[in-house]
Amino acid sequence: MKTFLVLVTLVVNSICIAQQFTASAMAPLITGNIHFPNAQASEADWLKFEQEILEMKRLGATGISSDVWWGLVEKVEGKYNWEYYDKLFTIIRRAGLKWDANLSFHRCGGNVGDGDAYIPLPEWIWTKHIGKPGVTDVNSLKFKSEQGFYSDEFFSPSAIPIVLDDLGNFMAAFQDHYGPLAEQMGSVTISLGPAGELRFPAYNNHDIGAGYPTRGSLQIYSDLEIKAFQKAMLKKYGSLRGIKEAWGPHFYSIKSIKQIGPPNFNNHADYFKTKGTRKAERFFAIDEVHTPYGRDIFEFSNQQLYKTGYSVLKKWMETSKNTRNGAFKDVPVGAKLTGVHWRLADNRFAELASGVIVVPETPTPSDQLGEAYRPLLKLFQDLAHEKNAPPIELHFTCIELENGDNGSSAGSLAQSLVRSVIKVAKSMDITIKGENALEFTLTNAKAWDHIDEAIANGLSGINLLRARTVAAHELTRNRFKSITDKYCNTILDP
């Protein structure tokens, strides 16, 4: 009987460890001189960083997260410089904390909170594949918007199969270099889009008048995406005739599959013609979103993001089994999904342009906003069901914001969205953790009230933007400590 109790205790303890709540905070985008991290001129910045994370350790933090910029480490293909991250990891370990590493395959610069930091993707990636099918110039792998502008923040979904081995080579190099220290890592997240988030850059600064809190700008106008859309529609409907019958009279004049595309592509239907550069303006203005054509546009966009996430995260999982004797095979891996919380109160067009949802039934009750995320959340569910999969984690942003954020004109339902997405994720047995959207919000007590609510609703952890802000103020220190006192070292319900 005593032996049986010991075995039960061991099993329970192993389960408890796997389900422990985590409380991390983010390191600065960069510390000191990223090119010469050991230079004397950077010592003061590193000392400040170390003091901040020592304070985070005192407050009960379990880890410190940071970007691992692909564009910094592999400037030359196949040559990796880990000097900056060796120093960073050493300081984190010295503080007795875990490192939550984010493999950042996106560009640093141009997003909220980036400041003057700028680290582009490796220049060689834009030219390496020229000559392959669909890759004709340096813009072929990039997002292209309805305004005709290109974004080099990440790769368009249809470009992922072309660059996947390049991403995999970086993953393998990371695993090989840090394999001996894998047990001192809390988790790995993989960036899957602009700002590291699984989405289209619908509201980023390469377009005009498309930022927060507008509907944004559609980003599926590259040659690769248009061809992928045409192929998807032929597969769904069987023929051009089937497509036209499904979409209705406005499309009857189409003579070739090459005329099929996103709104106002190649003037494929006079009905959608728009003056000026915003090709999709009439499409949204007359609410073609809820027609069969509109639903196909956004179902396609959503599926493209699913494919991106699945192929890249699966590549990490496959690589981790074959590198350093599988040192990373049990390290939790995940990705970030952004909370596009504006325009929810009226039409949800911002979420649709970002690709994160499919067209929902209207109107959507506030407690069911997360249902439209279910097809994309299935990505995390499917990966978790892969054979010998590591723990799979979804990181969802905007957990600190409230309904009505930035006034009624923004149409924000941030708090309702967070509640509903957590509810849907939990119903799918997905491990979901949360992040705040904006660093400055942490100095507001209400933001912490919303974070507390999100945790109580089922978050398995938090990763706050950033450690320096949490460590700097009495309010932020006290509120963070209250979370770690209550939840860290506490076993979560499975």
The DSSP bridge pattern shows strands 22-26 and 461-464 to be parallel
The pLDDT tens digits of the residues spanning 376-391 come to: 999 999 999 999 999 9
Burial class (CB in 10 A: 0-12, 13-18, 19+), 440: exposed
Q: For the segment 130-178, what is each residue's pLDDT rounded down to a tens digit?
A: 999 999 999 999 999 999 999 999 999 999 999 999 999 999 999 999 9
Long-range contacts of 87-90 (CB under 8 A, 24+ apart): 87/37, 87/38, 87/46, 88/27, 88/31, 88/37, 89/178, 89/181
Q: Mean pLDDT by 10-residue block, N- to C-terminus, for the chain (494 residues)?
A: 37 43 96 95 97 98 98 98 98 98 95 84 98 98 95 98 98 97 97 97 92 95 97 98 95 91 68 58 88 96 98 96 89 97 94 96 88 97 96 98 96 98 98 97 98 98 98 98 91 57
Domains of the chain: 2-128+158-211+299-487 (3.20.20.80)
Distance of alpha carbon 135 from alpha carbon 59, whole angstroms? 50
Environment class of 410 (CB within 10 Å of its CB; exposed 0-12, middle 13-18, buried 19+): buried
Q: What span, in angstroms and rounded, lies between the C-alpha atoms of 382 and 374?
A: 12
Single-letter residue type at 180: P
This prediction's pTM: 0.94
Q: What pLDDT is recorded for position 184?
A: 97
The DSSP call for residue 364 is P
| Distance between CA atoms of residues 17 and 244, nearest Å | 55
Q: 274-298 in b/e burial notation, b at 16+ Cβ within 10 A?
A: beeebbbbbbbeeebbebebbebbb
* pLDDT in the model for residue 223: 96
pLDDT at 16: 31
Task: Identify the pLDDT of residue 324.
Answer: 84
Which stretches within 179-323 are classed as H helix?
223-237, 240-247, 281-285, 292-322
Cis before 466 (ω within 30): yes
The confidence score (pLDDT) of residue 272 equals: 52
Length of the chain: 494
